[in-house]
Amino acid sequence: MIVGEQKPIKEIMESVAPYKRVLILGCGTCVKTCFAGGEDEVEVLASALRLAFKTKKQRSIEIEELTIERQCENEFIQEAAAGIGRNDVVLSLACGAGVQAMAERFPAAPVLPGVNTTFIGIQDRPGIFSERCSGCGDCGLARFGGICPVTRCSKKLLNGPCGGSQNGKCEVDPSIDCAWHLIIERLTELGQLDNLKTYIPPKNWQTSTSGGPRKLVREDQII
Ligand code: SF4
Ligand code: SF4
């Protein structure tokens, strides 16, 4: 899932301050799972903003709350149309893709981000999330026993460990597991250590974001 966290309330207050009527728009998928932008977070943020503006004795602000299933999918975006029409600005609690999808679909409405999008990851345990994929565009997980060195090795090494790990921890950050320690353990378990005998040439980073914004075309889905 896409992992993000809500922006600090001070930053959000500054961004919505010029507007009188604000629609706080939640997204019911990834950002809901990581407690950044689902229905509950919309409700809590709306109350916090109302209180904060009232306490500061600034001019009154009207806040409407709405959460749609996904802000990044056309199928659901239209559900926000009426709410957007009633307000001066949209404070989106979606990831960066959702914010941009809303801005493209409703070009007349200012759409502000309320969440800092951080990474593609998983929930390790309640409240703890960690990065698992950098979206490099050329997945090699089959070779690495399902553990991504592009994302989880601090040096992004593709042909084995740097030799600096101690007790299975990364020399760059001893609080994290050495990705190559994990890869070798997993490949040993799977009986696939021979995978590492094949040299992997320098990665073609054109499939990653270094080649500019990417586009995925599925010809079979185009109608
Ligand atoms: S190899 Fe690339 S696509 Fe696969 S998990 Fe790692 S970063 Fe993501
Ligand atoms: S210690 Fe392991 S994870 Fe850290 S940089 Fe070296 S090989 Fe990568």
pLDDT at site 183: 98
Between the CA of 165 and the centroid of ligand 1 the distance, in Å, is 22
Give the residue with greater pLDDT, 53 vs 95: 95
**What is the C-alpha separation between 90 and 68, in angstroms, rounded?**
13
User: Quick check: 174 pLDDT over 90?
Assistant: yes
pLDDT at site 213: 72
Partners of 128 in the β-ladder: 125
Q: Give the global pTM.
A: 0.88
Q: Which two tokens stand for residue 121?
A: 């990851």
Determine what percent of the chain is predicted with pLDDT higher than 70.
98
110 lines ligand 1 (CB under 6 A): no
Quick one: which ligand is closest to 175's CA?
2
Across the range 105-121, mean pLDDT stands at 97
Residue with the nearest Cα to atom 3 of ligand 1? 139
User: Quick check: 223 pLDDT over 90?
Assistant: no
**What is the C-alpha separation between 85 and 72, in angstroms, rounded?**
19
User: Quick check: 48 pLDDT over 90?
Assistant: yes
pLDDT at site 190: 98
Q: Which two tokens stand for residue 164?
A: 């600096």
pLDDT at site 158: 97
pLDDT per position as a tens digit, 115-165: 999 999 999 988 899 999 999 999 999 999 999 999 999 999 999 999 999
Query: What is the residue-averaged pLDDT of the chain?
Result: 94
- Strands 62-68 and 111-113 come out as unpaired
148 Cα nearest atom in ligand 1: 6
Across the range 102-109, mean pLDDT stands at 97
pLDDT at site 58: 63
pLDDT per position as a tens digit, 11-22: 999 999 999 999
The domains found in the chain, sorted by start residue, are 2-119 (3.40.50.2300), 136-203 (no CATH)
156 Cα nearest atom in ligand 2: 8
pLDDT at site 176: 94
162 lines ligand 2 (CB under 6 A): yes
